[in-house]
Amino acid sequence: MCQMSYLTNGRMKRWGYSEHIDEFLLNPTQFVRIRELWQDVENTKSFNDNKEDPMDPDDVIWYPHKFISKKYVSEFHTENYEKERYEVRHKEHPRFWQDDGKLTIFGADVRSQGVYFCYDESSKKETIIFYVLMTMLPPVRFTTEYPLDYTDHCGQKKGKDSKLIFPSHNWKFHFLPMGDFNPAPTCQLDETDLETCKNNYPYLDNTKWPKNFGDDCSVDRCRARLFSPDNNIDLFIELRWDSWTSCQGDQPTKRREGHCYLVREEGSINIETMKSEHKKLYSWIKNLETVFDRKPFDESGIRLHSSLLTSAIFNKPKLTGCYNKKDEEEKLYELYDQVWRKVFLPTLGVPEDGVVVQLGNPFEACLRYTRLATEPDDDPKSEHLVGTYSTQVDYC
């Protein structure tokens, strides 16, 4: 809604939009005057006709595919057989509609990511309220003979396991977390029974946590310095829980969510002095520098599983599809996989090798990870990774 913007002069506002988040946030109050960096939000043409948009096979997002069993009669047999096939349907582009200062985005996804703001011609230079829209795009990796069950044709060859961690555009259809009514204790409420608590919940034993974890790390809040070869990057991954929802109004339960954020501290972030093979894994940080300079990102950070972070790794203003042939040729999917394996996973406490590995520390609230190998130095026989968030529910 543009209600806050009415306060400037009372005139009806319309919406502007820029997909160049990092560049636009460098000085938004100035850049709102430069039309080259943004455009008007236009109502979708033929909105009421509900016509399908043309599909670009190299720039598309698919819904989860649907298996259909089709009965047929074999020419050699008289009985019926079940033949499985799958049906796929691509997502329509987000549809925009604004009326009396209210903007509605139907089917919002990574393609609607950007900075939005309200303005009119006479008050444009006083625009001070900006909205950054992004979506949740967590990493996923499953060792399976049926990768299409999880990839939905996005960034993978049909029927083959690419062994890559990939951003899941259909995460909410596959992995939406259930509320936890019995969360594990923090082991900080009763200091007299601390050892018994840690024995019952081994993952709470902070003596087994990596050295990059903060000294005050707990299941309620934990911060880990971003892994880097020279330990010269002042970025952290931080687990935080929201406040409990209100019990007012005779609510029977309350809930809270735990998310992971990429947070910048005041120290240096020196990428240029890195070796070339390392610099490639950290170059995405430069795409987020001005974002970290703006509120609320300067204090709250950026969601670890956000499309904003993913598009920075792909070195794009935003992603426009779940698969693109050019991105594959430029090995951007491999780069995304390597950033997770060599930067984020070590930061969160996933060791590089080991026969049996299961993430067991506070960060399992936003990442579920297991790995099984035959020998310590072998490739994983099976690997399961799902970026997520956690929900706790308690009675009021």
Domain ranges of the chain: 6-49+94-133, 139-395
Q: What is the pLDDT along the chain (396 residues), one digit of tens a residue?
A: 676 545 556 666 789 999 999 989 888 888 887 778 898 898 888 766 666 777 777 778 888 776 655 554 444 444 444 445 567 778 888 999 988 788 999 989 999 999 999 888 777 777 888 899 999 999 999 888 777 777 777 755 555 677 889 999 888 887 878 777 776 655 554 555 666 666 666 556 667 778 889 888 888 889 999 998 877 788 999 999 999 899 988 889 999 999 999 999 876 677 777 887 788 899 999 999 889 988 899 999 999 999 999 999 999 999 988 888 888 889 999 999 999 999 999 999 998 877 778 888 889 999 999 988 767 766 778 899 999 999 989 888
Cis peptide before 317 (omega within 30 of 0): no
DSSP 140-172: EEE--S-THHHHTTSSS-TT------EE-TTHH
d(CA 20, CA 38): 8
pTM: 0.86
Are 53 and 93 a contacting pair, CB within 8 Å? Answer: yes
d(CA 56, CA 61): 10
Residues listed for the chain: 396
d(CA 225, CA 241): 19
Of 289, 214, 302, give the one whose Cα is nearest residue 261. 302
